[in-house]
Structure 1
Amino acid sequence: MKILRAALLLLLCSTPLAQAAAPARVVGLGGQITEIVYALDAGERLVGADASSIYPPEALKLPKVGYFRSFSIEGVASLRPDLVLASDQSGPPQALEQLRKLGSPVVLLPSEPSLEALDQRIMGVAKALEIEARGTALVRKIHAELKAVQPAARKPRVLLISSHTGKLQGAGDDTAAAAMLKLIGATNVLASQQGYKPLSAEAAVALRPDVIVTGNMSVDASGSLDAFLAQPGLSATPAARGRRVIVMEDLLLLGFGPRLPEALRQLEAGISGKAGAR
């Protein structure tokens, strides 16, 4: 009888019914990661996200756990996640380790602004959620759409600006926005710089950009597009004088996520003067 019971128990443990269920309570740390979950039609599994998770609109309704670079351990733990999907820039590291000690599996995903890393992000999320077929389909869809995106006919000098904190920050190389400019063949006037750095009024004037690219939040922080362009330095540039400005939704511009083809189309249209510039 004992042998029979043992055999029955072994059989039950080997059946799909006894396997661990796919993650159902997920927290996203990083706007690009959260957006991928929604793009994979798995948004219903999200029970929380960080403050950078601003797209799609449903993400704004999720309980927030702070900013992914300095998230709240208590905030995440209170949501009782069975999976935390995090950008590899999430932290600090000891906070991630504490989550693991509390019993929450943490999957770190690459944040680099490259097509290879985007594929890895998507497939990493899909594998963690046990929906790999959806991940493969999404990657194929993105690459198919990218083939249809035409490089900008003009090769203007573009200045990428962030000023939602009230101070001008210029985007150099190794940023998502700069990587997108490369994909459409435009020239980043700050390509010799790494990452985002403060930009003085004098430097902005000297760069003489033909086009300025920025996010909604930077314009909103100024109160209006006119006020944004009137900032010292920007107002004297050829781009500001000609009102050649492309304003994009922030995560679309900065996320290098599943909407990459859409972001490139908006940039190309703005640069060519078809649409998107104001």
Structure 2
Amino acid sequence: MVRRTVMRFPPRLRPALLRVAVLLLVLSMLTVDPLHASAPRRAIVVGGALTEIVYALGAQDSVVAVDATSTYPPAADALPDVGYMRRLAAEPLLSLAPDLILAIEGAGPPAVLDQVRAAGVRVLDVPDQPSVAGVHDKVRRVAQALGRSDEGEALIQSLDARLAALRPVEGAAPRVLFLMSVGEGAPLAAGRDTPAEAVIRLAGGVNALDGFTGFKPLSPEAAAAARPDVVLVPTRTLAGLGGAEAILARPELAGSPAAQAKRLVAMDTMLLLGFGPRLPEAVAELAAGLHAKGP
């Protein structure tokens, strides 16, 4: 596996590097062929779902770097890494002389993206709505920005056809508790209006927690009220919390139907929550796990 290079610069060098980066950016703009000026040649992609869309459109040759959430496809690992999407810095971005930055909603900090815009770089903010319509919108925005609108419409048609081909789920909808570990303390549980709730619903399940919006630490009271039939976690959380047996044996979960039936499903984070072009595969995999017979 190719290890991605993470771009970091010592603080004392950053002012000089920023000046050099702006100069490189200006020179790159001056050398663009006017006949092809509308199609970006040096794009940075911030957001795993956007990176997947770029590759699905066949536009990866225009990408010079991605962020840390861009873990698929594996070929993206060969590109420079500009850091985590919410903790970007202007110097690494500008040093690559980009002519476009595709940034998923929530990327930032906003002041950094404003600094990049002030240097003359186009930054396209892409909304991140966890729905099929939201995936359509992402694809269209990215495709238009890259001059590949026809390919974008073809990708949307393929996505819709793959979703339509999924077998209908039979039987009662299981109550699903999504948990995600973010360091020390209680894991976070997904409430309403979250990507986790949306994908659970698409896969024929019901979110076990609907008394709050967003993500909150799982309290013993909330866990007892949830009574999940299945616990759903990202694969990193599975490892971070000690594996399936350890998670189901936690005091707040030990008495739940999920623990008694040993029902836990683990999936790749970006596949599960990214709402990108792999959404049909995510729904199919999750539905198979939620409706499987036995542990």
Provide TM-score, normalisation by structure 2. 0.82
Report deviation, 1:17.
6.5
1:162 matched to 2:184: no
Q: Give the one of 34, 43, 52 matched to 1:26.
A: 43
Show the counterpart of 1:64. 81
CA distance 1:164–1:232, change in 2 (3 Å):
farther
Report deviation, 1:108.
1.0
Question: Residues 112-191 of structure 1: matches in 2 within 5 Å?
Answer: 112-153=129-170, 154-166=172-184, 167-191=186-210
Quick check: 1:23–1:83 contact (8 Å CA) kept in 2? yes
Once the two structures are superposed, what CA deviation does each residue of 1:43-95 show, in whole Å capped at 9, x if it has no partner? Answer: 23222112211112222332222221221111211121111001121122222
Q: Which amino acid aligns with 2:250?
A: Q
Structure 2: which 5+ residue stretches go unaligned? 1-32
CA distance in 1, matches of 2:210, 2:165: 26
CA RMSD of aligned residues (A): 1.9
Q: Which amino acid aligns with 1:204?
A: A
Report deviation, 1:265.
0.5
Q: Name the % identity.
A: 43
Once the two structures are superposed, what CA deviation does each residue of 1:235-277 show, in whole Å capped at 9, x if it has no partner? Answer: 3321122121111111011111111111111111112106xx8
Once the two structures are superposed, what CA deviation does each residue of 1:174-226 show, in whole Å capped at 9, x if it has no partner? Answer: 11121122223321111232111111234213311001111111012124322
CA distance in 2, matches of 1:151, 1:188: 19
Q: Which amino acid aligns with 2:96?
A: L
User: Which of structure 1's runs of 4+ aligned residues deviate more than 4 A?
Assistant: none
Secondary structure of 1:231's aligned partner: coil
CA distance in 1, matches of 2:237, 2:127: 26
Report deviation, 1:21.
5.5
Q: Which has the larger radius of gyration?
A: 1
CA distance 1:206–1:20, change in 2 (3 Å):
same
Q: Which amino acid aligns with 2:104?
A: S
Provide TM-score, normalisation by structure 1. 0.87
Question: Residues 1-278 of structure 1: matches in 2 within 5 Å?
Answer: 18-20=35-37, 22-153=39-170, 154-166=172-184, 167-273=186-292
Secondary structure of 2:136's aligned partner: helix
CA distance in 2, matches of 1:137, 1:196: 35
CA distance 1:19–1:51, change in 2 (3 Å):
closer
Count of paired positions: 261
Q: Which amino acid aligns with 1:43?
A: Q
Report deviation, 1:19.
4.2
Once the two structures are superposed, what CA deviation does each residue of 1:141-191 show, in whole Å capped at 9, x if it has no partner? Answer: 001111122343231111111124243111111111211222233211112
CA distance in 2, matches of 1:147, 1:43: 28
Structure 1: which 5+ residue stretches go unaligned? 1-15
CA distance 1:79–1:180, change in 2 (3 Å):
same
CA distance in 1, matches of 2:93, 2:242: 34
